[in-house]
Amino acid sequence: MLEQKRTEISTLGEFGLIEHLTKGLEKVNDSTKYTVGDDAAVLDYKNKRVLVTTDLLMEGVHFDLVYTPLKHLGYKSAMVNFSDIYAMNGTPKQITVSLGISKRFCIEDMEALYAGIRLACEEHNVDIIGGDTTSSLTGLTISITCIGEADEDEIVYRNGAKETDLICVSGDLGAAYMGLQLLEREKMALQGKDDIQPDFAGKEYLLERQLKPEARRDIIKKLKEAGIKPTAMMDISDGLSSELMHICKQSNTGCRIYEEHIPIDYQTAVQAEEFNMNLTTCALNGGEDYELLFTVPIADHEKISEMEGVKMIGHITKPELGLAIITRDGNEMELKAQGWNPLK
């Protein structure tokens, strides 16, 4: 086996590393006037509203490099930021990338990480316009800020849901969580066994959902083409139940969702059974799906029902009716947020 080339980061220094990782970047957005290379980037948005979001990812809290390839990590780090902008019904345009790097990483590692970030940016027409690097005593830290744009009357907030609105989700739920459980199980099983490779045959979808999520630009495009503006919207990062509670709290409403309508992929169901886990609980609370949760007026029922990749799972109610899920056997259970909480 060929030994991988390893170049110490200290050979380039901070500014040399930034120049090395960002060389060859070309601007793709008119709003990007000046990027990497000065004290600040320069943007020009004219009459648009500017959207800004930041995600901080910490090694050992948000990702485990035992089973997360650095290229995949870079791709995911950018994609979760794009997802936040799409959840506002906006378009991501630029990102800044800041890294805290420990001495165990080399230039080739950072090249792999940046290759993933650059791939995500290329796919979504986003410019990398700056950032920062520093040393870290606690492993790898990634902080990405994404800047997007939207017309003022197109922005969708969390607080606009109204009584009788339909509750919709894109894609399917729980697969990313099942992928994480699978990776964690194999990590434990193979600890100290360098000569054995895990067998993930037939589980590829679950691993991709965990390691390489996709922001749902396609759903935003479909909604606009159908002439539908959601009344409220979020992306599902912490779990369906948690996100739905945010929308209902900020909109001052209640909700009813139906267990039988929650979209779940076949591989997710099989894996949950193998782990002896409750499938609905995984779909409600697993998190990291990065699907879109949104509400639309009941008048859009027909348009939504014909939209591929979108499922209606319930409706908004008066606030005094509370938040509940109707089980397959017709029982009503209180909806609780048991999703991801990084501060616990």
Per-residue pLDDT for 187 more than 70?
Answer: yes
Which whole number is the average pLDDT over 127-134? 91
Residues with Cβ within 8 Å of 130's Cβ and at least 6 positions away in sequence, in order, are 35, 36, 40, 41, 96, 97
pLDDT in tens, 56-102: 999 999 999 999 999 999 999 999 999 999 999 999 999 999 999 99
Which whole number is the average pLDDT over 292-306? 97
Per-residue pLDDT for 343 more than 50?
Answer: no
Question: Using 50, 70 and 90 to split pLDDT, how confident is the model at 14?
Answer: low
Q: What is the pLDDT of residue 337?
A: 72
Domain limits, CATH 3.30.1330.10, in the chain:
9-154
Q: What tokens appear for 44 in the block?
A: 């020009």
In percent, the amount of the chain with pLDDT more than 70 equals 91
CA 338, CA 93: separation in Å to the nearest integer? 33
Cα torsion 59, 237, 260, 203 to 10°: value is: -40
Whether the CB-CB separation of 180 and 63 falls below 8 Å is answered with no
306, containing H or E segment = none
Lowest mean pLDDT across 42-46, 157-161, 219-223, 322-326: 42-46
Which whole number is the average pLDDT over 233-242? 95
CA 317, CA 163: separation in Å to the nearest integer? 5
DSSP code, position 4: P
Lowest mean pLDDT across 40-44, 86-90, 111-115, 173-177: 40-44
Which whole number is the average pLDDT over 224-247? 96
Q: What is the pLDDT of residue 195?
A: 60
CA 247, CA 158: separation in Å to the nearest integer? 5
Best CATH choice for the domain 166-334 from the list 3.30.360.10, 2.60.120.620, 3.90.650.10, 3.30.572.10:
3.90.650.10
Per-residue pLDDT for 1 more than 50?
Answer: no
Sign of the torsion formed by the C-alpha atoms of 111, 117, 118 and 120: positive
9-154 CATH: 3.30.1330.10
Q: What is the pTM of this model?
A: 0.90
Question: Using 50, 70 and 90 to split pLDDT, how confident is the model at 197?
Answer: low
Question: Using 50, 70 and 90 to split pLDDT, how confident is the model at 39?
Answer: low
Which whole number is the average pLDDT over 217-225? 98
Q: What is the pLDDT of residue 20?
A: 76
Q: Tell me which amino acid residue 279 is.
A: L
Question: Using 50, 70 and 90 to split pLDDT, how confident is the model at 267?
Answer: very high
56, containing H or E segment = strand 49-58
| Nearest partner of 310 among 318, 319, 301, judged by Cα | 301
Q: What is the pLDDT of residue 196?
A: 61
Per-residue pLDDT for 33 more than 90?
Answer: no
Domain limits, CATH 3.90.650.10, in the chain:
166-334
Which whole number is the average pLDDT over 210-223? 98
Residue 27 burial class via C-beta count within 10 angstroms: exposed 0-12, middle 13-18, buried 19 and up: middle
Q: What residue has token string 């066994």?
A: 193
Write the CA distances from 84 to 79, 92, 124, 151, integer angstroms: 9, 9, 13, 16
